[in-house]
Amino acid sequence: MLLRLLLLLIVLLIEAQSAEATPNPVEIPRTQVIPLENSVTGGLYELYVKLPEGYIFESSDSENSASKDNTSHAHQPALKHYPVIYTTDADWHMDLLSGTTEFLLPEVIIVGISWQRNMPSNVDYGDSRAYASRFRDYSFTSHSKPDVQEKYQFGKAEAFLRFIQQDVMPKVEKQYRVAPNANAYLGYSMGAGFGAYVLLEAPNTFTHYLLGSPSLSENSLVALKELTAKPVKQQVENANVFVSIGELETSRMEVTQAFVALLKQSQNNMTINGLNVISDSDHTSAVPETFTSSIRWLKQMTDK
């Protein structure tokens, strides 16, 4: 009997030590992870959806609704609808965007779109496997090197835009109370380049565009100019645009300035903030201030 107790004690101690050695991961409060398949390509993604603190699920009230008559139910206040900020590169951006909006713009739903989870196993992506899909999804021009182009399939932004329009946004709008005509897109680097493409290809997809240090080249700028020269697919209803770049991003400064100039020339219903230059910052160190400045700007636009 004593031997059994000793063995049990040893097992419990081992389990306790194992539990201590595997700490629980930190989670973003009020954030749900929703698997989502691209209905056209079969690519598997995840949506990271963070809800505002005051968000009330309709199901919480429906349990008691059977005991109320129609008159009392009619006098219940309507549940609030919230604006949405969509962002790409969610695995990198969600924590920073969550912290920034928590104080500057708390009454908002954040939807982060992950990279594709089921990339082909027979392709050697090396250390970039986790985020390999961003090269394909966020770009709208081909790569100049054939071997790189074959591996990463650059230039599929149109297909990724359809995924957002046909799968992501309907899913969010069906599952959550979303305010109409109040959504925003925040992208950084390649994600901002994708936002530039959406802005000129399908501008009414979002109301506000927050584009930080967009990864643009002379070739991609030519492609954007070609979009502005095409017959207009949809009249711009109201697009508000924030563009920023780090002061030390000298190699991208000229093309980014040209992009802002192109926007100012292209559409009458666009409100452009100009080019916000973040002092003493390069492409990496500009990230925190980009998020803070763009969310401040978004708050000003939504408070009007």
Reduce the DSSP state of residue 297 to 3 states and report it.
helix
Q: Worst-scoring range by mean pLDDT, 28-32, 107-111, 222-226?
A: 28-32
At residue 42 the predicted structure's pLDDT band, cuts being 50, 70 and 90, is very high
At residue 23 the predicted structure's pLDDT band, cuts being 50, 70 and 90, is low
Do the domain assignments include residue 22?
Answer: no
- The pLDDT of residue 35 is above 90: yes
As a whole number, mean pLDDT of residues 261-278 equals 89
pLDDT at 57: 85
pLDDT tens-digit readout, 2-16: 555 444 454 445 555
Residue 178: Cβ within 10 Å count: 17
pLDDT at 237: 79
Do the domain assignments include residue 152?
Answer: no
Q: Worst-scoring range by mean pLDDT, 67-71, 90-94, 153-157, 226-230?
A: 67-71
pLDDT tens-digit readout, 94-131: 999 999 999 999 999 999 999 999 999 999 999 999 99
> Whole-angstrom Cα distance, residue 278 to residue 214?
13
Whether the Cβ atoms of residue 195 and residue 185 lie closer than 8 Å to each other: yes
Q: Could you tell me which residues come within 8 angstroms of residue 93 by beta carbon, excluding any fewer than 6 positions away?
A: 87, 112, 186, 188, 191, 291
pLDDT at 299: 96
pLDDT at 210: 98
pLDDT at 60: 44
pLDDT at 275: 96
As a whole number, mean pLDDT of residues 66-83 equals 61
Do the domain assignments include residue 144?
Answer: no
Q: Which domain holds residue 246?
A: 38-55+69-116+159-303
The DSSP code for 22 is S
As a whole number, mean pLDDT of residues 193-222 equals 97
User: Which of 230 and 161 is assigned the larger pLDDT?
Assistant: 161
Do the domain assignments include residue 166?
Answer: yes
pLDDT tens-digit readout, 226-244: 998 887 666 777 899 999 9
Q: What is the pTM of this model?
A: 0.87
> Whole-angstrom Cα distance, residue 200 to residue 202?
6
Do the domain assignments include residue 154?
Answer: no
Structure tokens at 301: 């636009």
- Domain of 199, CATH number, reads 3.40.50.1820
pLDDT at 21: 53
User: Which of 21 and 212 is assigned the larger pLDDT?
Assistant: 212
pLDDT at 67: 36
> Whole-angstrom Cα distance, residue 18 to residue 209?
47
Do the domain assignments include residue 18?
Answer: no
Residue with tokens 């709208």: 140
DSSP letter string, 155-210: --HHHHHHHIIIIIHHHHHHHS-EEEEEEEEEEETHHHHHHHHHHHHSGGG-SEEE
Question: Over pLDDT 90: what percentage of the chain?
Answer: 73
Do the domain assignments include residue 180?
Answer: yes
Q: Could you tell me which residues come within 8 angstroms of residue 61 by beta carbon, excluding any fewer than 6 positions away?
A: 76
pLDDT at 266: 82
Total of domains in the chain: 1
Q: What is the mean pLDDT of the chain?
A: 88
Residue with tokens 């990496």: 284
Do the domain assignments include residue 259?
Answer: yes
pLDDT at 303: 87
**Which segments of the chain does DSSP mark as H helices, in order?**
2-21, 59-65, 70-74, 90-104, 133-137, 146-152, 157-163, 169-175, 190-201, 218-229, 250-266, 287-303
- The pLDDT of residue 193 is above 70: yes
Query: Residue 124, CB half-sphere, CA atoms under 13 Å: how many?
Result: 1
Q: Would you call 202 exposed, middle or buried from its count of C-beta atoms within 10 A (0-12, 13-18, 19+)?
A: middle
Residue with tokens 């780090």: 246
- The pLDDT of residue 68 is above 50: no
